[in-house]
Homo-oligomer: A and B are copies of this chain.
Amino acid sequence: MAKTEGRADYSFDEFNIVLAGRFDGLSKQLKKIARFILDNPVDTALDTAAEIANRLEVQPSSLIRFAQALDFEGFSEIQKIFRANLVQQLPGYSANYSDRIQKLKEGASEGAEGAHPILNVFMEANRDALTSLQSEVSVARLDEAINTIKAAKNIYILGQRRSFPVASYLYYMMRNLDIRAFLLDGVGGNLSEQARLIGDGDVLVVATFPNYADEVIGVAQQARDAGAKVIAMTDKLVSPIVKLSDTYFLTDKVTVSGFRTVTGTMCLAQALAIGLGLDSNQISRT
């Protein structure tokens, strides 16, 4: 890695500047290549040199020549630049929040934004979590969940460890909306005893995230066996809770320094509670 790396790790912008400067001096074919590359940044980033050459009706070696004409060692280096650029353009691209914090730790801190750098990272992470919520929660699912809860005889809420704040918040909101809900808080190690209450026609709203506490999964299974519906909030499809659930929501994939955001799930909980409260009583929407 400490060798002559051509002009590796140039930024995308720098690449463009260099290219613009030399464009006129390029041969006809090389100009053609340059245009294609600029017009198809995604393909340039992802395809193999051979494929690109093929689409251009040009030999792969010409791509290499092109790269070398710009003082790169090979075409691969150009691809690296384009890939990096691609990743940056990803929505809610979060450049590994943990890495960023790590960097902050190493000193290079300049609070350009006016707020504390650590706070900034979390603000971004939480905002991203909210943004992705938009695409991840479908209207139908949410309505489905609301109707399931509305139709239930009893409502139970469960979340442990990381998910406990969410569960307790949902419980708090429901109670304030005069919705009769029960929080399975597991106080005194009585979780499974509490869970034994769950019966036919009830609903269990459960939040669980890696590493998916066994006792939580157990309770969900128990609820299901007892004939209750299960509404799950978790992070991904392979979560063990998904297959135990009637309706599930995926949120808060985002983590910072090993800590998952809770914002998405919180927001979802708010929407659930208010959605429930809306027709059952007065609540004036803002």
Residues in chain A within 8 A of chain B (CB atoms): 16-17, 19-20, 23-24, 34-35, 38-39, 42, 46, 83, 86-87, 89-91, 98, 101-111, 113-116, 118-123, 126-127, 130-131, 133-135, 137-143, 161-162, 164-166, 168-169, 172-173, 176, 187, 210-211, 236-238, 240, 242-243, 253, 255-259, 261-263, 266-268, 270-271, 273-275, 277-279, 283-286
Contacts and interface: CB of A to CB of B under 8 A. Distances in A.
Contact of A114 (B34, B91, B135): B135
A278 B101 contact: yes
A168 B160 CA distance: 11
A83 B46 contact: yes
Interface of A is mostly: helix
Given A34-B238, A123-B130, 18 more contacts: A42-B90, A86-B90, A103-B138, A104-B278, A106-B138, A107-B139, A113-B134, A115-B137, A116-B275, A119-B134, A122-B267, A164-B172, A165-B172, A165-B266, A187-B187, A256-B286, A257-B286, A259-B270
Contact of A267 (B255, B258, B263): B263
Given A105-B278, A257-B274, A237 B16 contact: yes
Contacts of A106: 138, 140
B286 A274 contact: no
